[in-house]
Amino acid sequence: MPNKVLETKNLNAFYGDFQALFEISIDLFEGEIISIIGANGAGKSTFMRSVAGLIAKIDNEINFKGCSIKDLRADEIAQKGITMVPEGRKLFPSLSVEENLLIGSQTKRSGPWKLSLVYDFFPDLYDKKNIPSQLLSGGQQQMAAIGRALMSNPEVILFDEISLGLAPIIIKNIYKNLPFVIKDGMSAIVVEQDINKAIEISNRVYCLQEGKIALTGISKELTREEISNAYFGI
């Protein structure tokens, strides 16, 4: 059985006095892709940001390879081997494409992902490597955000709404390449609004509803009715 690389145990997260997550227990195994689905405001991005060290007020457990990371800063978590492709890409607009990619390598982690491999994977970025990232199309910006994350040579990569606002052909190409990214033991958590896509790409699915887990199961075994009921809180 693959090793467990990441787990949360009864995770709670807060924005000030407002509680956004309630006792979320999720686990992720080596080489696995899990999807997190749910309506807007369900807590999907809050969960991802909590794991990445970007939510200040959380309690209970977040463990990576058996060790707690709950109290670590975001940069320390990245150095451990967890990185995120954030919603909205979050590139530095005035920096060139290549400068944005190199930010990912600041973790100093060893691994296969270097500029040459990112450019092989996303040839559009090589052609535009010296221009400011703000001049890229939405799809190219998403490629750069993924490339930046890969440059940190992570063991776990968090994809937060990577298809949001992109043309269908771009979404198709990104997901077609995902199995080539998630290989050699790397694992991923994918937040995705498209339920069909979430089921297609993942081994297991978690559905959040108002900050709580409403449903979990093996992707190919869950019925549309079960997912719809959990998604809409029926």
Looking up residue 153, the CATH number of its domain turns out to be 3.40.50.300
Least confident window among 38-42, 107-111, 158-162, 163-167:
163-167
In 30-146, which ranges are E strands? 33-37, 57-64, 67-68, 82-85
DSSP 173: H
Identify the residue with better confidence: 23 or 89.
23
In terms of residue numbers, what domain contains 37? 4-232
The DSSP 8-state label assigned to residue 186 in this structure reads -
Q: What pLDDT digit, counting tens, does each position of 65-99 carry?
A: 999 999 999 999 999 999 999 887 789 999 999 99
Q: How many residues does the chain have?
A: 234
Residue 130, pLDDT above cutoff 80: yes
Instruction: Give the closest residue to 35 by CA, choosing from 209, 233, 226, 193.
Output: 193
Tokens representing residue 67 in the block: 């060790």
Contact criterion met (CB below 8 Å) for 30 and 53: no
pLDDT of residue 166: 78
Overall domain count for the chain: 1
Give the side-chain half-sphere CA count within 13 A for 193. 11
Whole-number pLDDT of residue 175:
83
Q: CA 46, CA 107: separation in Å to the nearest integer?
A: 23
